[in-house]
Amino acid sequence: MNSKISFGKSPWGLILIASACIAVMAGDAAAQSESMMLRGGGATFPAPLYQRWIEAYAGQHPWSRIGYAKLGSGEGVQRFLAEKLDFAGSDAALDDEQMAQVKRGVRLVPATAGLIVLAYHVKGLTGPLKLPREVYRDIFSGKISRWNDARIKAANPDLNLPNQSITLVARLDGSGTTYAFTNHLSAISREWRDNGPGAGMTVAWPGNAMLVHGNEAVASRIKVSEGTIGYLEYGFAKRLGLPMAWLENKAGHFEEPNEQTGVEALAGNALQMPDNLRLMIPDPEGADAYPILTLSWLLLYQRYPDTEKASAIKQFVTFGLTEGQRYSHELGYIPLPADIVSRSRQALDSIR
């Protein structure tokens, strides 16, 4: 039996929990339920996939109780460092200083990957919008402020671009999606990196930007707001039917965001994975590679005080890295290549 349980007005009120408990003996029921309650939270980028994992896992393991709160990467990291979660999700890997704060140790486990797209709401366009690298950089720095700017028109001679202000939709909360997007902009532009906002989970956007919490809110705001453009995970834009810009990649080709161009970007760069599993691909190589993608990590403790809980977490994450990858296609994520899955499982095996 699957059900959804809410924790009322607590911080866990937005958690999706797939749960079903079978007690072998009545006296063991409370202890079993409590020990199997796994509390996670963090990045909104992979949240739809993690929720699907939770539901599917509960169907096979009716004793499981797992929750994942859509907090944003920044808040998820802070709660993980404070040991208020059993696991966290982040689209920005922890750095050495953050990892040193956790006495129980940390394991970074790449769990999925996805594209960051630029979705827009501009009426009257009869074809896809193509944006060169320096153009989308300058849109998000505020230097290009109207849709009929000469540089946008030069890349899109067949589109009837309106004389309309460009309004950015960006994240207000500490966001791994923001980090991945601004890390890309820093990689392709010295001006952005050294004299502009730089890379971070939060950055200073131009004053007219609409600031919202979470990928879902970015998608929703673009959907209802004419003249907007914003950055978000591909699956959120796809589910709302938002048009997405074709972006110029490192090879100088304009690439449509889709699973094929995402797979090209990830597969062509996966062998760069370092021993600490902090693989950043801010500007992927490959003629057909889409230019903005990120891994998303599960943050796990190296040591758990409860061995039963450690075992439950390892079983759930193993499911996500194996059977769970098949849900990536339908939800707009990129299945991890076999070599990354192998490295993630090795990291998982070291948890106690």
Q: What is the pTM of this model?
A: 0.89
Evaluate whether 16-114+294-349 and 115-271 have a shared fold. yes
| Percent of all residues in the chain with a pLDDT value above 70, rounded to a whole number | 90
Question: In CATH, what number does 115-271 get?
Answer: 3.40.190.10
Residue 118 and residue 231 in contact, taking contact as beta carbons nearer than 8 Å = yes
CA angle 51/120/70 to nearest 5° reads 20
Residues 6+ apart with CB under 8 A from 350: 107, 302
Sequence ranges of the domains in the chain: 16-114+294-349, 115-271
Q: Is the pLDDT of residue 9 over 60?
A: no
- Mapped onto helix, strand or coil, the DSSP state of residue 43 is coil
pLDDT at residue 323, as a whole number: 98
Task: Determine how β-strand 293-301 pairs with β-strand 167-171.
Answer: unpaired
Higher pLDDT, 105 or 27: 105
Task: Determine how β-strand 254-255 pairs with β-strand 65-70.
Answer: unpaired
φ, ψ of residue 144 to 5 degrees: the values are: -105, 120
Surface-to-core class of residue 195, CB atoms within 10 Å of its CB (0-12 exposed, 13-18 middle, 19+ buried):
exposed
> Using CA of residue 82, residue 74, residue 239, residue 282, what is the dihedral sign?
negative
At residue 6 the predicted structure's pLDDT band, cuts being 50, 70 and 90, is very low
Residue 70 and residue 44 in contact, taking contact as beta carbons nearer than 8 Å = yes
Per residue in 264-315, pLDDT (tens digit) is: 999 988 889 999 999 999 999 999 999 999 999 999 999 999 899 999 999 9
Q: Is the pLDDT of residue 93 over 50?
A: yes
| Mean pLDDT of the chain, nearest integer | 91
Q: What Cα–Cα distance (Å) separates residue 102 from each residue in 43, 81, 128, 186?
A: 19, 6, 46, 29
Per residue in 44-76, pLDDT (tens digit) is: 999 999 999 999 999 999 989 999 999 999 999
Q: How many residues does the chain have?
A: 352
The rounded distance, in Å, linking the Cα atoms of 310 and 191 is 45
Looking at domain 16-114+294-349, what is its CATH homologous superfamily?
Periplasmic binding protein-like II (3.40.190.10)
